[in-house]
Structure 1
Amino acid sequence: MAERTVVVAGGGLAAAKTAEALRAEGFDGAITLIGAETDVPYERPALSKGYLQGGDARESIDVHPRQWYADNGVDLRLGSPVTEVDAEEHRVSTADGERLRYDTLVLATGSRARRLDLPRADPAGLHHLRDVADSDRLRAALRPDARVVIVGAGWIGLETAAAAVAAGAQVTVVEVAELPLVRVLGPEVARAFADLHRAHGVDLRLGRQVRDIVAAGDGNAVHLDDGATLPADVVVVGIGAQPNVEAAVAAGLDVDNGVLVDEHLRSAHPDVLAVGDIANAWHPGIGRRIRVEHWANALNQPAVAARTALGIDAAYDRPPYFFTDQYDLGMEFTGWFDPAQPYELVVRGDLDAREFVAFWLVDGSVAAAMNVNVWDVTEHLGRLVRAATTAEPARLADPDVALADLA
């Protein structure tokens, strides 16, 4: 009987953790990991945090050292991504012309930075932040007194702003929404992040759109819709990411804002799974599909995918989790809610002092919670979210009521 083969398409955290989980579950067949980058799989959060600021060493962000893959029988095929999937024939093709057979395929192709159409910009001063080379190039550009304009006030944009301020740069952030992160956190908590950046000297241009970016002198001129022109030595475009689903589309899989998968992470084809940024997965705890572009999904979904691939019943029902570090603010968020839909915000602590725990209640139950500069509470918050705990807002807000007593 031929050796069973699992092909993992992707070269990031989700791909490496899939290979690791397969071996941990006792799979002794062949594992081939096919990635677009030439680097061994690495973790990306540090690219806009510690690594960008020079505090994290390059090797510290690798998921495993290169030797781990050889020691665990994982065939690394790097520098040539999967470009085509024939789901019926159980074969993948790569950019350099290889064709490989699989019994199970795990798509972990991640996402790429969204880009603006800027034909008149000077590319030398234009940056996106998605891979380690991007972070290296941007770190070299963040020098004292550099004029840095960041387009987008999401997590990447705000973390980059904090890194630029730490480097001594003059920083302006342009955001189309009225507040940074408002579409994620709602206006009450979003204001705390706006105040944080203003307190560190960042010029926030909120409710503004970029009309054009044009090469000017040794840099670029950023033209806004209100007529303002911002001179920039460095322009960082941080307007989100889009999933790399081209191979999935060509394979005829169901794709809508990512690859549609069930709670077992199985796609429309039973031998093709998807994990990480590209997985638009049914979440049994939330009762809907969600696609989450955060580290925790890439870290934790592979264990479920490995079990599914091996015929072991498993479902991915962890609440979404993400974190950020900006200046002296550290934050962890657990759960999911839609700020565009009705909710009630309850705060324990001081929003203005940026030391608090926030709870978002939907229909009276805790749908999400966030701790800001309050530590060792994430486990308790996770339990409240997983249980969809119903609690009196006054008890949630009362610091004398232990979080452990609320569940």
Structure 2
Amino acid sequence: MRKIVVIGAGQAGASCVAKLRNGGFEGSITLIGEEPVPPYQRPPLSKAYLLGDMALERMFLRPESFYAENDIDLRMGTRVTAIDAAAKTVTAGQDVLPYDDLVLATGSIPNRLPASIGGALDGVCVVRDLADVDAMAPRFTQGAKVLIVGGGYIGLEAAAVASKLGLQVTLVEMADRILQRVAAPETSDFFRDLHTRHGVTIREGVGLERLTGEGAVTGAVLSDGTVLDVNFVIVGVGIQPATALADMAGVTIENGIKTDTHGRTSDPHIWAAGDCASFPYGKGRIRLESVPNAIDQAECVASNIMGADVAYVAKPWFWSDQYDVKLQIAGLNTGYDRVVTRQGDGATSFWYYKADTLLAVDAANDPRGYMIGKRLIEAGKSPAPKIIADPDTDMKALLKS
């Protein structure tokens, strides 16, 4: 009987095993996760779950019973300590598990502040998994002072939740502006204004010099000399692909676990999907940190394990919820040289162009603009920027042109 082992019980791992069973795979499937709960949605962690609007069970991707009913050996709270690619075995807890195909869906690891500047003090938090959020949740009391380090989407989402719960929020971003790495100045301006109107203090072009406190954080010194009293700190300064096990298996690492168009690594019996995997895209390689990519890539890997021989075609899209604004992003804006703003009826969208080619859309409370932009990008269509900017343009008609 053919044996498949999947390491990582996040969105990618759960999607892979479900696709295998639903696709008719009849062999042995083992899904291994370090957390003591079944696979769950991560995006609500820092939003609905932290706000108390969503119970843990509602975040489960599937009921725990699903795995037993589908003869999937779900091993929760289990750490993988070794992979022997030559012997094709995985050491998980006390067990050595043989495999015919191994899927690495190990996700990513949040960057942390160095201990030398106070990163090891109690009260310095990251937002990545259930344990992280459960640990910080009691600190979200009205009037508490929180410092958020990092002005990317994770930091801004944390700021929105903290503000809604009545905390005093200061966010520092070392770059010239928030979202500088991922969005245009127009999008940065939109969200800066949104947060400022909700009482968040945003400091751009200012870094964190050090945190202070005896055992627990009580203050912060910024790079411009500002001294802040803080009750706790949330660090949102990016993530790194979790490649330690892939390294152990001897597969090639290149901005994550390097895969081919089918999701296979340099070892023909080892595959990778999700945040941890880099794959061919256009003339280069990319690694996408998003739920849609984790699902689609993992399902593609499952299909290829079953012999489908299909290439993964990424359709990048992302989202972020902040206050009453839902931002939806279609495409990748890399290389843009022009941004067109479209507004109307409470909706705002920013359209990225490189010369005359439409690359991406940031749509804030504009689901129609997002869906049309996404379909245009996927179809390789690029309406003239002046057409997009015209509020009288019939956007739906652009799909037929």
Bigger shift: 197-206 or 119-128? 119-128
Question: CA-atom RMSD, angstroms?
Answer: 1.8
- Tell me how far apart the structure 2 counterparts of residues 203 and 45 of structure 1 sit (CA, whole Å): 24
* 3-state SS of paired residue (2:151): coil
Cα displacement (A) at 1:388 = 2.6
**Correspondence for 1:142 among 118, 140, 143:** 140
Cα displacement (A) at 1:122 = 6.9
Bigger shift: 374-383 or 13-22? 374-383
Cα displacement (A) at 1:377 = 4.2
Q: Once the two structures are superposed, what CA deviation does each residue of 1:241-287 show, in whole Å capped at 9, x if it has no partner? A: 1111001112111102200112211111121111111011112xx43
Mapping for residues 7-406 of structure 1, pairs under 5 Å: 7-94=5-92, 96-119=93-116, 120=118, 123-215=121-213, 219-283=217-281, 286-338=282-334, 341-349=335-343, 355-406=347-398
- Give the ranges of 4+ consecutive aligned residues of structure 1 lying more than 4 Å apart after TM superposition: 119-122, 216-219
* 3-state SS of paired residue (1:249): helix
Bigger shift: 100-109 or 184-193? 184-193
2:313 counterpart letter in structure 1: D
- Structure 2: which 5+ runs fail to align? none
Question: Are the counterparts in 2 of residues 319 and 385 from structure 1 also a CA contact under 8 Å?
Answer: no
* 3-state SS of paired residue (1:185): coil
Cα displacement (A) at 1:28 = 0.9
Q: Once the two structures are superposed, what CA deviation does each residue of 1:130-157 show, in whole Å capped at 9, x if it has no partner? A: 1112112222111110001001111111
Question: Are the counterparts in 2 of residues 121 and 215 from structure 1 also a CA contact under 8 Å?
Answer: no
- Tell me how far apart the structure 2 counterparts of residues 222 and 118 of structure 1 sit (CA, whole Å): 14
- Tell me how far apart the structure 2 counterparts of residues 30 and 62 of structure 1 sit (CA, whole Å): 23
Change (3 A) 1:138 1:390: same
Cα displacement (A) at 1:229 = 1.2
* 3-state SS of paired residue (1:367): strand
Change (3 A) 1:229 1:61: same
Report sequence identity in percent: 38
Question: Are the counterparts in 1 of residues 256 and 278 from structure 2 also a CA contact under 8 Å?
Answer: yes
Q: Once the two structures are superposed, what CA deviation does each residue of 1:4-61 show, in whole Å capped at 9, x if it has no partner? A: 1111000111111110011121111110001111111111000111111111111111
Question: Are the counterparts in 1 of residues 338 and 354 from structure 2 also a CA contact under 8 Å?
Answer: yes
- Tell me how far apart the structure 1 counterparts of residues 358 and 119 of structure 2 sit (CA, whole Å): 46
TM-score by length of 1: 0.93
Q: Once the two structures are superposed, what CA deviation does each residue of 1:291-349 show, in whole Å capped at 9, x if it has no partner? A: 111111122212101111111022221321111111121110011122xx342111211
2:278 counterpart letter in structure 1: N
Bigger shift: 110-119 or 7-16? 110-119
- Tell me how far apart the structure 2 counterparts of residues 394 and 364 of structure 1 sit (CA, whole Å): 11
Question: Are the counterparts in 1 of residues 343 and 349 from structure 2 also a CA contact under 8 Å?
Answer: yes
- Structure 1: which 5+ runs fail to align? none
TM-score by length of 2: 0.95
Cα displacement (A) at 1:390 = 2.4
